[in-house]
Structure 1
Amino acid sequence: MFDEMDELAQDYDETVRTARESAGMSQEDLARKLNEKASLIRKIERGDTLPSDDVQRKLESALDVNLSAGGTADESEWSGGDSTGEYTLGDVVERKDS
């Protein structure tokens, strides 16, 4: 069930705000375009709420942005995992007795 879900980027709020401003839209304009409430856009841009999967897709399409955390430069810091991209508990746990 969770395999298809992408993790939201930490800076999703800044990405949405910057893209909206670059497009010359107000929060109300973006809300109308997405058929959502302006209060939701304000909360997303402040980082007070996470967009639902549906709203995330609409934002990405309307603003031509990617709000998923995967595929960023930060990924190169991770050295665990196998060739399939799957991680095990052993990849992320640090033992205290070592």
Structure 2
Amino acid sequence: MAFPRVSAVIFLILLIGSLSLLCMGVFALYQTTEIHQNNEEYVEGKIVAIGSKMDFELVTEAGQHLHFSCSNSCRAFMTHMQRHFYEHAMTYVFYVEGSKNHLIAVDVD
């Protein structure tokens, strides 16, 4: 009689785990579509310099150098950006293009 109870417990744990993963996936998908606006663009690369005026320079894999200024929401990511700079980690930047091709970073990950 113990085997059906054990299998029921295992089934219940797997059911709860799979439903939890499904909910987290749906929430993550919804969150990324709600955060970023339609006029934002996306680029990935490595941060090669961080300036004192809350600006930074990113180099893409194609070798293109892009200079970004941080918006108010980007300033919260400064410690995260410094860690990416020291570790030479890939960085994903969501940005909008301002006047005179000025790039304004909205989100940095």
Question: Could you say whether these structures have the same fold, taking a TM-score greater than 0.5 normalized by the shorter chain as the test?
Answer: no
TM-score between both structures, scaled by the size of structure 1: 0.26
* Higher fraction of helix: 1
Q: Which structure has the larger Rg?
A: 2
TM-score between both structures, scaled by the size of structure 2: 0.24
Q: Which has the higher relative contact order, 1 or 2, with Cα contacts under 8 A spaced 6 or more apart?
A: 1
* Higher fraction of strand: 2
